[in-house]
């Protein structure tokens, strides 16, 4: 979604990794402002949580590189996505941890935020007797914080599931290829990965239309049919 590789801002992130911000971030902000519910605070929180979740996802990839001695050139964040660029290639076994750590980070954040949100809601309703008007419970600071934690959990749960779809260039597509390399020769592994990705890429088109009808920004990601077809024929993606 709104992918670009031209940074407008850079800072030093964890592990000393350069983190760059793409100009398409502003397109993401405009998109959410246009499609938002009208609640500025909720829209701003949604965008902030999405970008924080993507940042932590990419830092998961970066951490896996660092602990395995693979230097990281940069982490790039753009409008609704990002990537971790290595300074040199990694072995297939190293790539397994590197690729898997992105979704794992999102799954951990989903679990922690969900547990914290549920605990806060339990606390809110346990103290409900202190409110003369039951509706005031939902406007209490605790309830609002619980709601934001729930939103953060949903965002990370979605990112984890979305990234595990076995299509290129998502993590799921890369993990499928790495798994096939453990089970079959390189050409066979590439062909199987490409074939599965090709079928899912074609099915993505009606899925994209359904997503559009529901207003999901998933619409802006379309797997490459030519790339998967090339893999099916034994050519690298």
The whole-number pLDDT of residue 234 equals: 84
Q: Is residue 109 part of a domain?
A: no
The whole-number pLDDT of residue 75 equals: 95
Q: Is residue 68 part of a domain?
A: no
Could you tell me which of 18, 25, 2 has the C-alpha nearest to residue 62?
18
Number of domains in the chain: 1
Q: What is the mean pLDDT of residues 159-177?
A: 95
- Tell me which residue has tokens 């074609």: 202
Q: Is residue 174 part of a domain?
A: yes
Which structural domain, as residue segments, surrounds residue 170?
166-237
Q: Is residue 29 part of a domain?
A: no
Q: Is residue 60 part of a domain?
A: no
Q: Is residue 87 part of a domain?
A: no
Q: Is residue 145 part of a domain?
A: no
Question: The whole model's pTM is what?
Answer: 0.88
Beta strands in the chain (DSSP E): 7-12, 18-22, 72-78, 81-86
Instruction: Write out pLDDT tens, residues 126-148.
Output: 776 656 666 667 677 888 899 99
Q: What is the mean pLDDT of residues 206-231?
A: 78
Q: Is residue 217 part of a domain?
A: yes
- Tell me which residue has tokens 């997503």: 211
């Amino acid at each position: 979604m709104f992918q670009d590789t031209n940074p407008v801002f850079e800072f030093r992130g964890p592990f000393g990794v350069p983190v760059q911000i793409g100009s398409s971030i502003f397109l993401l902000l405009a998109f959410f402002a246009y499609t938002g519910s009208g609640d500025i605070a909720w829209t701003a929180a949604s965008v902030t949580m999405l970008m924080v979740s993507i940042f932590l996802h990419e830092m998961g990839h970066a951490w896996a590189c660092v602990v395995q001695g693979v230097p990281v050139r940069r982490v790039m964040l753009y409008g609704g996505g990002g990537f971790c660029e290595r300074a040199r290639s990694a072995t297939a076994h190293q790539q397994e941890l590197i690729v898997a750590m992105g979704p794992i980070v999102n799954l951990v954040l989903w679990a922690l935020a969900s547990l914290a949100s549920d605990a806060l809601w339990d606390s809110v309703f346990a103290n409900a007797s202190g409110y003369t008007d039951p509706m005031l419970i939902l406007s209490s600071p605790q309830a609002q914080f619980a709601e934001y934690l729930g939103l953060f959990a949903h965002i990370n749960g979605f990112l984890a599931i979305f990234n595990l779809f076995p299509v290129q260039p998502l993590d799921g597509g890369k993990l499928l290829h790495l798994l096939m390399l453990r089970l079959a020769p390189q050409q066979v592994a590439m062909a199987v990965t490409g074939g599965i990705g090709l079928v899912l890429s074609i099915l993505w088109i009606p899925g994209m239309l359904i997503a559009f009808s529901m207003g999901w920004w998933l619409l802006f990601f379309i797997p490459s049919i030519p790339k998967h077809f090339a893999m099916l024929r034994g050519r690298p993606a």
